Amino acid sequence: MKIIGSFPKIRLRRLRKSKWIRDLVSETTISKNDLILPIFIREGKNKIDSIKSMPDIKRYTIDKLPIILKQVKKYKIPAVALFPYTSKNKKDKIGSEALNPNNLVCRSIRYIKEKFPTIGIMTDVALDPYTSHGHDGVIIDNKINNDATIRILVKQALLQAKMGCDIIAPSDMMDGRVGEIRKILDKNNLKDTSILSYAVKFASNFYGPFRDAVGSKSNLKKDKKTYQMDFRNISESYREVALDINEGADMIMVKPGLPYLDMIGKIKNRFKIPVLAYQVSGEYSMLKNAVSKKLLDEKSIFESIISFKRAGACAIVTYFAIDIAKKLS
């Protein structure tokens, strides 16, 4: 970029001298419409659990969901993302509970659509909450079997869509699953159900608290590097995104968020498709703990959300959604 003008004729500080002028020329803004709140759900009744590794984040039984959903509605957050904590007695090697029409996610979708019909619902398509080994797929011969996993994921996605889910979000990172999900949705007259592909999901070290929250961490004996992306790679992410768009993805997720702001902008500029960022559990817990210990100012949370928008994200999945929405009210 060619720089026009020079000091002292040009003084950039003139545009920073007061709040109103800084706001006037600001290049990035955030609104409530940019936020999606992840919610952890659990079996039982009249229960709210704390999650030790995620301060102030809870798991809710379905009857307790109004506590959080009333805030979502009050502060006009457009959508929530549901993640189940599955009890051990409902887990097996192939994640059979994922296909139970009365499982926790399915019942939660039906409940929210009945009681809070204006709130959008995003659901995770992956097997890790349901498998006894904690992986996102079926293990055959000590490997995650891609095609066998897809056959289950397709049924899981269709089930969630039939329950009323608005956005199907496959996070499993199996090759070819977006195309198979799109086919079965269209075949069942669910052409309006959107697919948000976790196309750029890195094998990251920032997922630990989430795995605590859904109860998969203690079962997971090996890492997920054979199917989640190598965080050193850029070109690989372009190939993942291109394939998923070609298969029918409506939107793309970059996960984690803050360590991969560069990827958000590059994918947005290259593919001209809506790109979402997931501010994952590890990012949340780092910021939350740093603020509570007064190592960082609370304003750093808002700054982190702005950074996603500045990078090019159209929306952010964040555990801070209600906090941010309150500040914007």
**Rounded Cα–Cα distance for residues 253 and 272 (Å):** 13
Query: Residues 255, 266, 268, 309: which is the catalytic one?
Result: 255
- Residue labelled with tokens 């307790």: 64
Query: Going by DSSP bridges, is the β-strand pair 143-145/138-140 parallel, antiparallel, or unpaired?
Result: antiparallel
**Rounded Cα–Cα distance for residues 256 and 278 (Å):** 6
Query: Going by DSSP bridges, is the β-strand pair 79-85/35-42 parallel, antiparallel, or unpaired?
Result: parallel
- Residue labelled with tokens 């229960």: 47
Q: Which residues are registered as beta bridge partners of 154?
A: none
Query: Residues 201, 266, 268, 288: which is the catalytic one?
Result: 201
Residue 74 is among the residues annotated as catalytic for this protein: no
**Rounded Cα–Cα distance for residues 221 and 205 (Å):** 15
Q: What contacts 297, CB < 8 A, 6 or more positions away? A: 291
Residue 255 is among the residues annotated as catalytic for this protein: yes
105 sits in which H/E element: helix 104-115
Query: Going by DSSP bridges, is the β-strand pair 275-279/79-85 parallel, antiparallel, or unpaired?
Result: unpaired
- Cis status of the peptide bond prior to 66, with omega within 30 of 0: no
For the annotated catalytic residues, the residue numbers are: 201, 255
